[in-house]
Amino acid sequence: MLSILKQENGNLSIVMLMAVIGMVSGLSMSSLVLRDFRNLTYEFENVQARHLLRSDAYRGQNFLVSNPLTIGEVFVLPERRFSLNSGDFARSFKLRSYVEKTRENTLIGSDTGIVGTDNMDVFRLNTMVSTAVGSSFNTFDSNSTRVVIGSSLTLNQSSFAEFMYFTDQDTSPAGKNVYFYGSDVIEGKVHSNSDIQIKNVGGWPTFLNLVTTTGHIVSHSGEYDEEEVFQGGLIEEYDGYIFPKEATTLRHNARHNLMAGSTGPENTIYLVRVNKGQSTFWRGDLSVPIRKSATVWDPYPSIPLDAADSLFTNSFTIRDTIWTSGTLGQLSGNGIWVDANLWLEGTFSGNQTWGCSQNIYLVGDILLDMTPLGESPVYNPKDMVGIVSEKSILIKYGYKDPDSLARVHPNCGADDDYTAPAGGGIFIYAAMCALGDGGDTSATDPNFKHGVFTFEYQHPHGSTPAINGEDDNGDTYFFDWIDLHRYRYPPTSSDPWPIANPSLDYPWYNPLWPEARPYLERGTINVYGAIAQRRRGFVHRSGNDSEYPSNDGYWDIEMDMCGGPVTPPVPYNDPVIQNLVLLPRNWPGASGSGVGYKYKNYNFDYRFLNTQPVFYPEAQLTGGKKPLAHGSWSIVIPDRPKFNRYF
């Protein structure tokens, strides 16, 4: 090396080598600077483009709230243009979006657990943003950059399944105030198109999610800590929701339609037992009215009968029920419409919505195939149930099974049948909607035709059951309708139905009439779902109810006038039939001093915030706006040919 440096040619070589190294280093540094600058501009364009994509998501949502589309319809939003100048470089952006309504697979389940899919109607907002150098849009296409990003947002039409509690009028059927108390801990959203009443009884109620009301919160116990009571927030004077009168979407899109018999929907019953995606059913057709008579004797029963005095003859009509059986399949992912009264129970799989034009009676548990009894359904990937009545939804007291002919009380249980807060009674994994419209009445006026979620047989009295008798010769006798052979029916003002010694049930008011010892307290209602109703139905009542009293013994069942008080229960020893005592009682192990379901174990199904039961009634604000729920938002490679067709 030293000899090379001593030579003239060697010095020149070293100088040239150093020059080459310097030039290469300069080019490398320039390349690094250029690459960093390009990365900077790319990141700048990319970040700004993503911000613009998100902003357009809200633009599309706001459009759809006021302009709902039909299936297959596409609407192109006006193109938006933006220019940004940072001082060092300028960029321009074009934002193109269109919205469409499609039917596609939608996630069901929890985003933290296993998920499944089901076909649902969804709105989709498709957006593409492209960038160009400079701030002039005249040369946008010739100066476009490599940044072209797309996004896709799915939106679901909000439905009444999103509310743990929804009421159109938050009053009772009698037009009286109903209250939230200390025992009420409400998980999901709550809305009422009227005032909401609260009381400090056993503490204040607790609302864990947003509460909205078109009116105000009315406290009947003085001041309260709003943050403690309304932990999920409170908005008063909120927009009202239009609560529909009919289940139009379900009626029009149901896969199965079960039709009424010749005597009409109100005189037809479908008793349906669901087993996952299949079901068996019994159709009950009520006959035309049949005239019957019953001679009143004193005493009755008497052996021989002619040993008693004949007083007069009652004349009345009854209806027979003729039952026929059938099966129904392909339930999963479909709606089922019943133009009759629907009696429903079973274990359901897939997304099913059952609806009917008359009342729905829950004759047993409503369970989900992949959710163990008593557990939350939030991780269930596929099963979801909607129950919609154009009248009311009732928990059935009892019935005579047309298959086994047994007289059953399916929805009663002991308080400790399950670990608290669950309890024996009934389990309902469903979103329930009672749409019944009894006409325009003030919220403070009685209206017993409005749709409610409630329980059957709210004023139990004892009644005299049928017996067998035998005379001294060994001949047997069968005595039925004993109360009809003892008292005037229908009653008159001068000869009313007995209200004391004995206090008797009106004939056929009890669906298992006659029953000597009917049940008062029946356990717990366990709901894992949502409840929407026109008015707030009773789930528990006092046995001596001042809500709509009829202590004079007057009977008008449709107006909730059902004889005298039922508690405290007073035993009545029958004067003719030995060892027969009429005495209403609690179901074994069910505590309380009233009637119905003392305990409410209500849990919201949070899956309803993203996905609703198929064809469930949609929510619409007054003024025509339709609120939407976000499904998923994702960055995608835009479909340029499709965008080019629209722009």
Asked whether residue 622 is assigned to any structural domain, the reply reads no
Q: Are residues 518 and 567 in the same domain?
A: yes
pLDDT of residue 51: 86
In a domain, 18, yes or no: no
Do 472 and 497 have their domain in common?
Answer: yes
Q: Which two tokens stand for residue 258?
A: 């079960």
Q: Please tell me the predicted confidence (pLDDT) of residue 633.
A: 82
Asked if 338 contacts 389 with a C-beta cutoff of 8 angstroms, the reply is no
What pLDDT, on the 0 to 100 scale, is given for residue 31? 55
Residue 626 lies in a domain: no
Q: Are the C-beta atoms of 32 and 24 separated by less than 8 Å?
A: no
* Contact by Cβ (8 Å): 342, 270: yes
Same domain flag for 189 and 214: yes
C-alpha span between 545 and 264 (Å, rounded): 35
331: helix, coil or strand?
coil
* Whole-prediction pTM: 0.85
The answer as to whether 87 is a domain residue is yes
Question: Are 593 and 639 within one domain?
Answer: no
Q: Are residues 446 and 562 in the same domain?
A: yes
Task: For residue 421, say if its preceding peptide bond is cis, omega within 30 degrees of 0.
Answer: yes
- Calculate the CA dihedral of residues 148, 39, 135, 90 and round it to 10 degrees: 160
| 1, part of any domain | no
| pLDDT score, position 544 | 85
CA 596 to chain centre: 21
Distance (Å) of CA 163 to CA 98, 209, 318, 395, 532: 30, 10, 41, 20, 7
Q: Name the domain count of the chain.
A: 2
Residues shown for the chain: 647
Task: Note the pLDDT of residue 303.
Answer: 83
- Clarify whether residues 255 and 129 are in a common domain: no
Predicted pLDDT of residue 15: 58
- On whether both 476 and 525 belong to a single domain, the answer is yes
Identify the pLDDT of residue 22: 61
Position 249 in a domain:
yes
Q: Which domain holds residue 185?
A: 162-609
Same domain, 176 and 144: no
Amino acid 112: pLDDT: 41
Q: Which residues of the chain have pLDDT under 70?
A: 1-41, 87-88, 105-120, 139-140, 146, 548-552, 630-631
Residues 459 and 537 in one domain: yes
Q: Indicate whether 445 and 557 sit together in one domain.
A: yes
Cα(605)–Cα(608) distance, integer angstroms:
6
Q: Is 125 contained in some domain?
A: yes
Residues 57 and 177 both lie in one domain: no
Q: What are phi and psi for residue 475, nearest 5 degrees?
A: -75, 140
Q: Are residues 549 and 570 in the same domain?
A: yes
